[in-house]
Amino acid sequence: MDDPELVAPVLAAVVGDAHVLVDDDLRSGYESDWTGRYHAPAAVVVRPGSRDEVTAVLAHCNERRVAVVTQAGNTGLVGGSVPRPDGPRPVVLSTRRLDRIIDLDADALQVTAGAGTTIAAWQASARAAGLDTPVDFAARDSATIGGAIATNAGGSRVVRYGTMRHQVVGIEAVLADGRVVGSLAGLPKETAGLHWPSLLTGSEGTLGVVTAARLRLVPRHEHRVTAMVALSTVGDAAALAGTLRTELSTLDSLEIVFPAAVELVARHLGEPAPVDASGPVVIVECAAHVDPTDELATVLASATGVTDTAVATDPARRDHLVAFRDRMTEAIAAAAGADGTPTFKLDVAVPLRALGELLDVAERAADRDGATLIAFGHLAEGNLHLNHLRAGDTTRIADTVLAEVARLGGTISAEHGIGVAKSAWLSLIRSDGDLAAQRSIRAALDPRGIMNPGVLASGSGRGDVQVPQLQVP
């Protein structure tokens, strides 16, 4: 490895002095994840502004076996995009400057954008063209396209359009040694060998750095209706989900929020909840070219277990109802800040029929720990975000909940990825053959093991590779 004193100047020669951050104060915003649970120092933060600069940075780091952690909007919840306390001090490669809308083809319903483009900017470009994005979630103002690809993000519109994997029709990425792979052509039919978008989506920065992507767009629906529906039981909510998916072609979003979560957001907003809820609350959104209100009302009128309902068609009222989902993370963060204890988060999914069974186990685990469980999620996918306030023994909670998830045939990560937070439990849902194959792919594309070491590893959570530590003056 080169003399550490030469590292920063070499990187500065590639990206410019202003985009190599060495001082502690300048690096600090890149060294902690959104939850505050994961924090460690980086050796240096590098902010390349083009694919060629990414290529040069990676080639330099690979030559010297320097660990690289790719970071996008840094909204992750599993410690996958920040340095690790038990690992080497890495170069953090920020993609925030790769934030340009490169091309929008309204006829093809596609857009090409840099990896640092936020989800909100993607939405704005689509809506300016009379179109929309198939992906949306609460962190849209800070989360980026590259991060969404890295974690195969989902969000609220998966019920209609699928996850991020379904939206990537072309990709450009740089491998550890500086080779550029992929294509941004966005051809709907293409069968020439391995599909780079499929391979890289969900890889959490372990195979390379995504620099740009070609993404799907969808029609913009002028008419929307939102309903908040209080139900008696989780079983009633699951049954309603099945009915809505079967009978409503206009279904755009289907979320679930449990009573403690509703109460938390109501306190945070300083106003009462729109419905009285002693059981789960389902937030339904429909969108179409003609008003879907009557269609939704007909389905809700025949649903079982409904105890209260609020319906809105005007934008302000709809936003108010949706706020009880979109402001959830904000409300949880505020509560955690008041307690002084970072929230312990588990993001899981099980078959819809098993949702109540999982929730019972999660509630008992929280009670035993003395934690407060705040649960909400994406109902149609059986995806729950389990947030534990004032959690003590987080390992015990995770052992209990994730084992139950595996027993029920679910996944320990429906969104946000594995990162380092869930590495120790990856073998619950992946066979030895699966894990060996993943390691082989990783070794083939990154033989020196510099890309995000410890992330998506299995077993102890300490990672599969060790690389030399980089230090800067």
Going along the chain from its start, the domains and CATH numbers come out as 101-219 (3.30.465.10), 223-326 (3.30.70.2190), 329-428 (3.30.70.2740)
Question: How does residue 6 score in pLDDT terms, banded at 50, 70 and 90?
Answer: low
Q: Are 287 and 161 in contact (CB under 8 A)?
A: no
Q: Is the pLDDT confidence value at 469 over 70?
A: no
Q: Are 293 and 246 in contact (CB under 8 A)?
A: no
Distance between CA atoms of residues 158 and 154, nearest Å: 6
Distance between CA atoms of residues 381 and 152, nearest Å: 14
**Per-residue model confidence (pLDDT) at position 37:** 78
**Per-residue model confidence (pLDDT) at position 5:** 41
Q: Is the pLDDT confidence value at 35 over 80?
A: no
Q: What is the mean pLDDT of residues 243-262?
A: 96
How many CB atoms are closer than 10 A to CB 399? 15
Distances (CA, A) of 206 to 61, 342, 464: 14, 26, 11
The answer for residues whose C-beta is within 8 angstroms of residue 169's C-beta and 6 or more apart is 110, 186, 187, 188, 197, 214, 215, 216
Q: What does the pLDDT look like over 364-395, one tens digit per residue?
A: 999 999 999 999 999 999 999 999 999 999 99
Distance between CA atoms of residues 397 and 348, nearest Å: 13
**Per-residue model confidence (pLDDT) at position 216:** 98
Q: What is the mean pLDDT of residues 433-451?
A: 95
**DSSP structure class, residue 70:** E
Question: Comparing 1-5, 151-155, 218-222, which segment has the lowest mean pLDDT?
Answer: 1-5
Q: Are 192 and 172 in contact (CB under 8 A)?
A: no
Question: How does residue 465 score in pLDDT terms, banded at 50, 70 and 90?
Answer: very low
Burial of 91 by CB count in 10 Å (0-12 exposed, 13-18 middle, 19+ buried)? Answer: buried
Distances (CA, A) of 78 to 18, 46, 461, 465: 29, 22, 12, 19
Q: What is the mean pLDDT of residues 209-232?
A: 97
Q: What is the mean pLDDT of residues 114-131?
A: 97
DSSP string, 354-399: GHHHHHHHHHHHHHHHT-EEEEEEEGGGTEEEEEEET-S-HHHHHH
Distance between CA atoms of residues 99 and 319, nearest Å: 27
**Which residue reads 């070609």 in tokens?**
214
**Cα-flanking dihedrals φ and ψ of residue 396, to 5°?**
-65, -40
**Per-residue model confidence (pLDDT) at position 220:** 96
131 by DSSP, 3-state: which? strand
Q: What does the pLDDT look like over 324-344, one tens digit per residue?
A: 888 998 999 899 888 788 889
Distances (CA, A) of 27 to 30, 77, 90, 388, 461: 6, 19, 12, 29, 25
**Per-residue model confidence (pLDDT) at position 457:** 76
Question: How does residue 9 score in pLDDT terms, banded at 50, 70 and 90?
Answer: confident
Q: Is the pLDDT confidence value at 299 over 70?
A: yes
Residue 279 tokens read as 């059981």
Q: Is the pLDDT confidence value at 3 over 60?
A: no
Q: Which residues of 13-24 are buried (b: 16+ CB within 10 A; e: fewer)?
A: ebbeeebbbbee
**Which residue reads 């002084």 in tokens?**
340
Name which of 172, 170, 160, 154 is nearest 218 in CA terms.
160
SS3 content of the chain, % helix, strand, coil (to 5): 35, 20, 40
Distance between CA atoms of residues 462 and 60, nearest Å: 25
Question: How does residue 8 score in pLDDT terms, banded at 50, 70 and 90?
Answer: confident
Distance between CA atoms of residues 253 and 122, nearest Å: 19
Q: What is the mean pLDDT of residues 395-419?
A: 95
**Per-residue model confidence (pLDDT) at position 36:** 76
Q: What does the pLDDT look like over 66-102, one tens digit per residue?
A: 999 999 999 888 889 999 888 778 999 999 999 999 9
Average pLDDT, rounded, for the chain: 91
Q: Is the pLDDT confidence value at 308 over 70?
A: yes
Distance between CA atoms of residues 11 and 19, nearest Å: 9
Q: Are 149 and 171 in contact (CB under 8 A)?
A: yes
Distance between CA atoms of residues 142 and 251, nearest Å: 26
